[in-house]
Every structure is written in C-alpha cells, then in structure tokens.
Amino acid sequence: MTSHFAKNLLQHSQQQRYRLFIRIIQGLEKLNFNHAEQDPSSVLAKQFLLTFSVSLLSSGHGPTHDKSPLKQMTALETSSLCSPYKCAPSKCAPAMLAFWLVSLASLVLLPNSNATEPTPRTNILFIAVDDLNDWVGVLGGHPQAVTPNMDALAQRGLLFTNAHCTAPGCNASRTSLLMGLRPSTTGIYQNAHDWRNTSLIDTAVHLPKHFKNSGYKTLGSGKLFHAHTFFDPKYLSGFSDPKAWDDYFPSLTQQMPAEAVPENWPVNSSKDFYGGHFDWSPLQIKTSEMADAKVVAWAKQHLSKTHEKPLFLSVGIYRPHVPWYAPQKYFDRFPLDSIQLPKHLEHDIEDLPEAARKLTKNQWHQWIVANQQWKRAVQGYLASLSFADDMVGEILTALDEGPLADNTTVILWGDHGYHLGEKQHWEKFALWENTTHVPLMVVSPMQTKPNTRCDTPVSLLDLYPSLIELCDLPTPPQTLEGRSFVNLLKNPTAEQDRVAITTQGQNNHAVRSQQHRYIQYADGTEELYDHSNDPHEWTNVANEKRYAQVKQRLASLIPTVNQAPLLPPKKSDTN
Ligand SMILES: [Ca+2]
Ligand SMILES: [Ca+2]
C-alpha cells in the first residue's frame, strides 16, 4: 500500500498536490476542532497531518518551490493552528495512527493523473427496423435476402441469434421495450392501447426520457413509439412523447414523414386487407424521395457533428413494414421468376390447437395463393428489406466518417418477426418462431469483440436494463422486468439458462429456451417444438410424454400477473 501511495504521489503535478493539500485542510475543518475542548493528543495528530500535507506540497520539487507563496501560506497556517499545544508523543499515538490512515486513504483513493479525466459516457445509436424478421443475411432466414450492411454491422460486434420480442405487434412490443415492462404487466397488448392514456404516464419513465433525465442529449427520427402511415397524416404522430427529446424529425409531435405511394393503390393486393395498405409494388421515384431516406438524412446530419453532451440518437426505419413500396431498383434485385417461397409445410396447421388456428390469417393466405401473389409478396418484402439495409448502411457510414465513431454504441433491433405464408399465416400477432424471432446486434467499443455470436435466448425487454448498465444510468422508478445482457457482450456463453417470453393478448404466452418453444393459450391448450431437430416448428410435440418435464419447467416460467387489456380486445389486431 505504501509503495502504491508513493508511486501515486509522484504522478501528481504540483497543482494536483495543492488540491490534495486543500482537501486535507478542508477535511480537518469538517472535523470541527475546537482548541479549547480538544484533548492534546487529537491536536497533535492534526499537527502531524498538517506537517505531512506541507511536506506533500514540497516533495519532488526543487528549492524554488520553498519560496512559493503556497509554501509560505501552509507554514503560516500550520504555525497559527498548532503551536499552542504540547503533549507527550506516547499519549497521542492512536490518534496519529488514525489520521495517518485517513490521509493515506484519501491519497490512495485519489485517482492518478491519467485517470482524472473521466471516461466520456458512450453515445447510443439506437436503430429500430420495423417488422424486420430473421431474413437478415447473418440470421439465414431466407437464402435470397440481400443485407450486406446489417451483416457487416453484426460482424463488427455481437449478434444475438436467439433474440425475441415480448409481444408480436408494433405497439405492444415497442411499449414493452421502452417501458421495460411486460405486456402482461401493463395490459398493453394491442396497437390501439396508447400508453399515454394509462397510469404509466405517472408511474414509469420510458427509455428516451430516462436518457434525457440522466444528462444525455436525446434526438429522434422516425418511428420509435408506435405509429403508422395508412396514407393519412393523422397516424404519423403515433404515441410519442415530445418532452422526451431535445429534437425530433419531422417534429417533436410527429414521428414519421408522409410516405410516397403509387397513384392508384392497392396495386397487387386487395382492399380487403387493411383497406389496401397491405400491398406491394415498385415505385418510379428516387430513393431520396422515400420517407425513410428523409429520416436517415436528418440523423446523418447529427452524426456528422459533435454534441455538448453524450448523445442518444434513435433512428426508426419503417420498411420492411407494409406497404412494400420501394424504388424500382430494389425490386430489380429480386427477379420474380427467381423468387423462392419461404420454407413451409403444406398441412402444418393440422397439429395446432384451435386457439392457434384462430390466430392465423388463413383467409389472407388463401387469397394470396389463389391470385398468384405469394412470390410477388415475397419479392416486395425482400425489396423493402434491401432498401432498409441500404438505409442502415447510410447511417453507419455517417457514423464512421463523423466525430462520434470511436465512442458510440450501436444497437440495431427489429420490433417483432413476420410470417410470409408459413403456417398459412401472414404478418405478426402469433407466437411462433417466425413472429417472435428478431435481429438484435450490439457493437460497443468497450464491450464487444468483432464477429461474435450469442445463442442464448434474450428478450427485447432486456434492452432497458442493459442500457442502464452500459451507460451507468440510475434506475427508473418502475421495476424493470428484463435482465441486463451486458455480461453476454463480453462473454457470449456466460449464461445458457435464460429464456425469452412473448405474449399475444391476455394469458397467451410463448417461452423460448435455447432448445424449445413452449406455447400456452388462455384456454390451456399447448404447443411444444424441439429446435434441435425441428427449426421450422413443423411438429407439435406437446402431447408426447417424453417432453412432460420440459413442458412443466417452461410452463412454470409463464408470468403470473396477467392484466386485463386496456380496451376490450378486437377480433384481430390491426396494423
Ligand atoms: Ca412492427
Ligand atoms: Ca405442424
């Protein structure tokens, strides 16, 4: 300890030693010595400490330092404070020892000159890609996906290969992620459930606001809280919170710009599906005219300059959310006659319980097949995904070329998965792997190593506590229900017993472990899939006796709190 102290001391400049001296003097004053009441031993100890601090000021410096005003001042103070007292050295030894320890502790604890500059808090670039399933190249969900930018991002850090949403719908998933609370805890299960009309407005602090309250500059662009277009300006604001942001694009009260649409729509689909907004077609426009391109252009401006505070920048990319309208060049990347349908089993739904079959958009599927639109729809998704990937590439290039490159943590996530005909289902709002599995990648200069993967299940619910740990933020007032995954960033195999839980409506849950998916519906019916031999979840083994213990263990992890929905449930959720 003594040698460490000496080494530490020698590293301090004269100015730092002076600051140290002042700290010791201030510490003595706080001890509130009163000359008339102190016993002589305590006063001698104080004298010893003062003498020590004076020697500290002069140590390591040449004779010129002895003549400095500083030295003269300390000598004067020492004399005036302590000269009237005398005592026997034997009596004051314990007190001297105590003060020695105090002074040594203060010196050792004082950081050395290299560490006095606090490490700047990492900036956060938070990229949300809407309705992004696991077709991203590095996750291998579709052999024709073209996502070089997201693939490159994953290779710069850590890719979670087994990440899942807490709810398979935009609003329920995003609200859960941003509040750090399960849908079953808040009762927010559907897109119509606006968190701002609930008690959460008083009892919880959502993620961007927590960053703002904790000293970050918060900037946002595009969809973060739920919003959609439906080609009507009234939906573009969504459920945002203008008070959470220092600035937002298009504005503090509007999350999304209006999007480019064909003159006559639907082009390939039917008015029966969301009034025609579930549609796919190339657009004869420049990429820069796309709404997402405007969102990204704004974000790029802020990545090209320094900021007075650490930055939390959220960028929400709307594609590949429907409508799958994108410039012609993105469709040209996927010639129609080359399109491969997603892997599917013809009679897959026959071993599903009735509650599961009710979730499927079977009628949509029948229409799509009957009208020869399945390949065209897959083409539309692949084109929209490729466009979204180009947008991610633009953001990352701006980051890399700007002043924030070295101290920014990048997190890219999708809000839920997406079916394109598997199990005769389209979209989300179900509890299978296609719907719950999401891309999640983290590149953190201080935490992750390039080209690492983590196969342990994690949840988007884990993002809030992970960001708290990464950025050293205080805890918010609500009790966060996720579990930080920061330990997995450095050591991807550190934990293997985690599970991810997804909830679709009240009392319907899926529990995903490393090997299995267990689903339990409100009526008690079940599904179980074994991913070790059934990666597409084609064979429901819930009724096989050999899986009884697996089922029992996973069922025991289902949330016990299951709040009633905020509003009466609709027959089916809407986009
Ligand atoms: Ca979504
Ligand atoms: Ca099946």
Burial of 132 (0-12, 13-18, 19+ CB in 10 A): buried
- Ion ligand 2: residues, CB within 5 A, are 348, 351, 538
Ligand 2 center–CA 183 separation, angstroms:
27
Ligand 2 center–CA 330 separation, angstroms:
34
Kindly provide the b/e burial profile for residues 62-96, where b requires at least 16 CB atoms within 10 angstroms of the residue's own CB.
Answer: eeeeeeeebeeebeeebeebbeebeeeeeebeebb
Asked whether the bond before 250 is cis by omega within 30 degrees of 0, the reply is yes
The residue assigned the tokens 């400095």 is 68
Ligand 2 center–CA 486 separation, angstroms:
36
Intervals of CATH 3.40.720.10 along the chain: 123-555
> Tens of pLDDT along the chain (575 residues)?
333 433 343 333 333 443 343 344 344 443 443 333 344 444 444 444 444 443 443 443 333 333 333 333 333 333 333 333 333 444 444 444 444 444 444 444 444 444 456 678 999 999 999 999 999 999 999 999 999 999 999 999 999 999 999 999 999 999 999 999 999 999 999 999 999 999 999 999 999 999 999 999 999 999 999 999 887 888 999 999 999 999 999 999 999 999 999 999 999 999 999 999 999 999 999 999 999 999 999 999 999 999 999 999 999 999 999 999 999 999 999 999 999 999 999 999 999 999 999 999 999 999 999 999 999 999 999 999 999 999 999 999 999 999 999 999 999 999 999 999 999 999 999 999 999 999 999 999 889 999 999 999 999 999 999 999 999 999 999 999 999 999 999 999 998 899 999 999 999 999 999 999 999 999 999 999 999 999 999 999 999 999 999 999 999 999 999 999 987 665 556 66
Ligand 1 center–CA 415 separation, angstroms:
5
Chain-centroid distance of CA 313 in Å reads 11
**Assessment of whether the complete model's pTM goes beyond 0.95:** no
Closest ligand to residue 537's CA: 2
Strand 123-129 and strand 247-249: the pairing is unpaired
- What homologous superfamily does CATH list for 123-555? Alkaline Phosphatase, subunit A (3.40.720.10)
Ligand 1 center–CA 100 separation, angstroms:
63
For residue 477, the SS3 value is coil
Strand partners, 220: 248, 314
Closest ligand to residue 172's CA: 1
Ligand 1 center–CA 64 separation, angstroms:
71
Closest ligand to residue 348's CA: 2
End-to-end CA distance of the chain: 64
The strand ranges marked E within 418-475 are 419-420, 426-427, 437-443, 452-454, 458-459
Ligand 1 center–CA 170 separation, angstroms:
4
CA 505, CA 29: separation in Å to the nearest integer?
63
Instruction: Give the catalytic positions in this structure.
Output: 170, 226
In this prediction, residue 214 carries a pLDDT of 98
Closest ligand to residue 321's CA: 1
Chain-centroid distance of CA 497 in Å reads 21
Closest ligand to residue 227's CA: 1
Ligand 2 center–CA 528 separation, angstroms:
10
